[in-house]
Structure 1
Amino acid sequence: MVGPYRGLFNGPGVKGFVLAGFVGRMPMSMLGIGVVLLVQGLTGSYAIAGAVAGVCNIAFAIAAPLSGRLVDRFGQSRVIIPFAAVNALALAALMLSARLDLPQWTLYAAGLLVGATSLSLGSMVRARWSHLHGGSAKLHTAFAFESVADEVIFVTGPALVTVLATMVNPYAGLIVALACMFSGSIALALQRRTQPPVQPVRSAGGTPILIPGVALLSCVYLGLGAVFGSVDLITVAFAEEHGAKGAAGFLLAAFAGGSMVSGLWFGSRSWRISLRGRFVRSLGVFVVGLLPIMFIGDVRIMAAGLFLAGLAISPTLITGFSLTERLVPPSLLTEGMAWISTSIGFGVAIGAWAGGRLTETFGPSNAYGFSLAAAFLAVVVGLAGSGLLRLPEAPSPAKS
């Protein structure tokens, strides 16, 4: 399993941008649950907590393609630094609004600014990999590694922020998230030799979302994002209902842990099945894996159930980003990948809002039905439009 990953980090500057990107995107797994724990602890309402988290995600979803376009036009370094500075100030304002018991609208306003200035560092790191290994079979392994890195973040982040928020201070998790975001982002911005060069735009006013295959992927990932957002919030309520609120982060870590294990395995294989075939199969496994969690009433069994449910996440994300890289012209690559992130962000916002409402109305176990329905809808859309994802296969490993 380790073989294909050997030598992947040997190029000049590769280890630096991988490490900086990893640290800089730690908040993507910490921010949502950190906001939920903070706001729910202050207001006693999962609906309000989900709404504030949802505002962050909606703002990110709207802004990500725009910031991605700025990166494609002006380069990563010139965009990252000002965005990171404003994002740090906005997150500090969110915590101060909560600490000083300011009017509720200030939480939403600060959350809006936090989301709008959050950069899709994962897209930027993948763009660097694409610049280094575009057209090579190594790109599959690199994207697989990045999905595994994402899942390591989602394994450690929720557990870390939960421990900090419940055992140290309600604000401690968000403070650590702020420190990771700012230090990692600035470190990535300063590494200019590995960033993709700015390429001339060949079609004025063009946007990747108008490419049929990218539009289809965005719709699919909207549904998957709704799964992620709802599972995050509902699982916190599930743990609290069973007297183990502090275990919520570990339950979410189990969900991400399944994805991490499958991502390592998936990236180590040389596949003969087409990218489209891998994508469709991964979607099918994902919806089947979610079925049992509606019927589990024990925290320890739920950890195992979420681990199994997470096994299809990485393969679905790896193939989705690989398809996007093949479908989008180089001059729009960062924006194209940002559309995947923005779709997930919209879905997470919808899922967090719906999960909060349904949890308070029907209880957490029944609310998981929304997660299952969202996954099923993503599968239906992916299968129905899979013809839009047909494309020539990348060069075989023997030629890379």
Structure 2
Amino acid sequence: MAGFVGRIPISMLGIGITLLVHSITGSFATAGAVSAIVSLAYAVAAPLSGRLVDRFGQARVLVPFVFVHGIALSGLMLLAHAHAPVWTLYASGALAGLSATSLGSMVRARWSHLLSNGDDTRGDSGKLHAAFSFESVADEVIFVTGPAFTAVLATSVNAYSGLIVAAVLTVVGTLAFSLLKSTEPPVVRHREQRGTPIAIPGVALLSAVMLAMGAVFGSVDIVTVAFAEEHGNKAAAGFLLACFSGGSMVSGLWYGARVWKITLRTRLVRGLVVFVAGLTPVLLMGNLGAMAVALFFAGLAISPTLITTFSLIERMVPAAQLTEGMAWLSTSIGFGVAVGAWAGGHLTDSYGPSNAYGFAYVCALLAMVVGVAGSSWLRTTVASETRS
């Protein structure tokens, strides 16, 4: 529960910053730029903070980082209120992003520790599969409810309220999470382990796949808003995006409840193929009702693919580098979302939203091609897994 509360703001910061900065400056370009800087700074810093966690422990890193993050967000709001120069908003946004931590990776690292066999081998794969599935569903609940909640606060209370609530939830949830010492993984030091997990071929492959999938998420968010506006009901964009995340949430529950007898490698390949197939009807929809149904089915492959990817990372990365290894996935998705949002916006302006969905489809195809072509890099890891 502490981890859930602490990472709710992941889905609130982008829209909260956009609404606040736009209300002050009147510029969507400036608002989008500040939001993008926060996302990119977080994407760059996540593996670095993950490495610090693996070296010093979760609590020793999370506590100072979350205080800096809270101060940076407060500074951003004060600077916006004071109509300070735009570069100060960029600077405070960058600091907020750099001090954000990948709490979801740390929650999963705790599950891996709790369900391990007490040594460096992996534990009950069935329970770990269920735990990772639960966390993926929790993430989807966050991404379904967070943006809508923030928008309601920002429009019905004041422009600052959404960001204030996000900052409070981050600090309270992260501090509560840090106090749970009984579940915190011990620091594992192996002198022979050097370098970074991204140097492992399988981790690099999965990061590339997540980069392409992140571009799908980022572009779909932007293009769907434009699609709803084009069809005369901009407010329907929230419902359409909720259908996209809702499909992922439903499939996550189904996927986590099943006992699987096929390897993680095979599950990943099948999930990527289904992801491409699910996105295909989105290219053909011409009204809001049909698009809602199409986006729901397009989202069905998201959770199973993400769950499988985190499970593969858990098996490939040494225990002493697990948090950093998982943080690379968050970084890849973050970069992908930023690229997808930028490309989706430009393509929508140039060719219209219906055609701009083609970018998301191409990115999904790219994820599938990379995942299938490089799946042999996952074979040695998966070959030794305990069938679940």
Q: Taking structure 1 as the reference length, what is the TM-score of the superposition?
A: 0.89
**For 1:143, which of 107, 125, 132 is the aligned residue?**
132
Of the three residues 349, 372, 375, the one matched with 2:338 is 349
User: Which of these residues, 252, 258, 262, is aligned with residue 247 of structure 2?
Assistant: 258
Name the counterpart of 1:64.
46
Tell me if structure 1 keeps the 8 A contact 2:22–2:31: yes
**Sequence identity (%):** 65
How far the C-alpha of 1:302 sits from its partner, in A, is 2.6
Quote the residue 2:56 is aligned against.
74
Correspondent of 2:373 among 368, 384, 389:
384
Change (3 A) 1:374 1:49: farther
CA contact (8 A) 2:261 2:387 kept: no
Q: 2:141 aligned with 1:152, yes or no?
A: yes
Counterpart CA distance in 2 for 1:313 and 1:38 is 30
Taking only aligned residues, the RMSD between alpha carbons, in angstroms, comes to 1.9
Match of 2:34 among 52, 72, 77: 52
Alpha-carbon distance in structure 1 between the residues aligned to 2:356 and 2:27: 16
Work out the CA distance in 1 between the residues paired with 2:281 and 2:17: 28
Residue 182 of structure 2 corresponds to 193
SS at match of 1:205: coil
Instruction: Quote the Cα distance in structure 2 between the aligned partners of 1:149 and 1:281.
Output: 23
Relative distance call for 1:365 and 1:378 in structure 2 (3 A) is same
Superposition pairs of residues 294-373 of structure 1, within 5 angstroms: 294-373=283-362
Q: Report SS of the residue matched to 1:245.
A: coil
Deviation at 1:43? 5.4
Q: Equivalent residues in 2 for 1:115-130 (5 A)? A: 115-130=97-112
CA 1:142–1:32: 2 relative to 1, 3 Å: same
- Are residues 1:87 and 2:69 paired? yes
Corresponding residue of 2:385: 394
Q: 1:46 to 1:364 in 2, by over 3 A?
A: farther
User: Is the Cα contact below 8 Å between 1:53 and 1:349 reproduced in 2?
Assistant: no
Amino acid at match of 1:64: A
TM-superposed CA distance for 1:213, in Å, is 0.2
What is the deviation of 1:249? 2.8
| Mapped contact 2:262–2:387 kept (Cα < 8 A) | no
* CA distance 1:46–1:352, shift in 2 (3 Å): farther
CA contact (8 A) 1:159 1:250 kept: no
Instruction: Tell me which amino acid in the other structure corresponds to 1:122.
Output: G
The alpha-carbon deviation at position 64 of structure 1 amounts to 0.4
CA distance in 1, matches of 2:377, 2:192: 21
Distance verdict in 2 for CA 1:313–1:228, change over 3 Å: same
Aligned to 1:210: 199
**C-alpha deviation, 1:305, in angstroms:** 2.1
Distance in 2, matches of 1:42 and 1:184, equals 29
1:25–1:122 Cα contact (<8 Å) kept: yes
Aligned residues of 2:19 and 2:154 also touching (Cα < 8 A): yes
Residues 186-230 of structure 1: per-residue CA shift (max 9 Å, x gap)? 100111111000011333532100000000000010111111122
Per the TM alignment, residue 359 of structure 1 is displaced from its structure 2 partner at its CA by 2.6
- TM (norm. structure 2) is 0.92
Q: Does 1:234 align with 2:219?
A: no
Give the secondary structure class of the aligned counterpart of 1:360: helix
C-alpha distance in 1 between matches for 2:318 and 2:367: 26
Deviations 1:20-45 (A, max 9, x none): 00010001112223333344555565
Structure-2 change in CA distance of 1:162 and 1:302 (3 Å): farther
Contact 2:260 2:387 in 1 (8 A): no
Aligned partner of 1:287 in structure 2 is 276
Query: Structure 1 residues 34, 251: closer, same or farther in 2, change over 3 A?
Result: farther
Distance 1:50 1:373 in 2: 24
Q: Comparing 23-32 with 202-211, which one deviates more in the overlay? A: 202-211
Q: Is the 8 A contact 1:54 1:348 kept in 2?
A: no
| Corresponding position of 2:119 | none
Counterparts of 1:372 and 1:104 in 2: how far apart (Å)?
A: 35
CA contact (8 A) 1:158 1:252 kept: no
CA shift, 1:291, in A, is: 2.2
The offset of 1:48, in angstroms, is 4.1
Distance (Å, rounded) in 1 between the aligned partners of 2:19 and 2:291? 20
Letter in 2 for 1:368: Y
Distance 1:320 1:329 in 2: 16
